[in-house]
């Protein structure tokens, strides 16, 4: 089975690095974990692909930051989110395949200490 990993990236002149915020990235890389091949997409292309909902465009996400509503949607779609160590794409894919990366937990998405009424518009959720 082919495993496709979606990574928010910061493209640079000679390389790409993992971008810390999945939603606010301008580019994405979908990596085939079996072959190591990479395909690069713009933000609008990846969001459109996901919004169509006919097929999952990827099987997992590698990012250190995702907003609560997006996390809930991904969880509903059974798409796990893993936290990278550093910004190197290939090193993190290797660690993911070796089960060395931790999945992002719901508790980590928005720590209660960060939540305040002014944050609701920026975290895509509502405070109770």
Task: Place 124 in a pLDDT band, splitting at 50, 70 and 90.
Answer: low
Residue 73 phi, psi (nearest 5): -65, -45
With respect to CATH, is domain 4-123 assigned 3.30.420.130?
A: yes
Q: Is the pTM of this model over 0.75?
A: yes
Pick the closest to residue 35 from 126, 120, 97 (CA basis). 97
Q: How far apart are CA 77 and CA 119, in angstroms?
A: 26
Q: How far apart are CA 10 and CA 76, in angstroms?
A: 27
* Residue ranges covered by each domain of the chain: 4-123
pLDDT tens sequence across 42-87: 888 877 776 665 567 789 999 988 888 888 888 888 899 999 998 8
């Amino acid at each position: 089975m082919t495993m496709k990993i979606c990574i928010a990236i910061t493209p640079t002149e000679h390389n790409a690095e993992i971008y810390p915020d999945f939603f606010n990235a301008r580019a994405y890389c979908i990596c085939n974990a079996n072959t190591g091949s990479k395909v690069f997409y713009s933000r609008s292309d990846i969001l459109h692909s996901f919004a169509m909902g006919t097929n999952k465009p990827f099987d997992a996400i590698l990012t250190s930051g995702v907003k609560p509503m997006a996390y809930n949607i991904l969880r509903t779609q059974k798409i796990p989110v893993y936290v990278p160590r550093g910004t190197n794409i290939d090193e993190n894919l290797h660690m993911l395949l070796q089960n060395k990366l931790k999945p992002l937990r719901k508790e980590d998405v928005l720590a209660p200490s960060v939540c305040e009424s002014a944050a609701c518009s920026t975290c895509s959720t509502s405070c109770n």
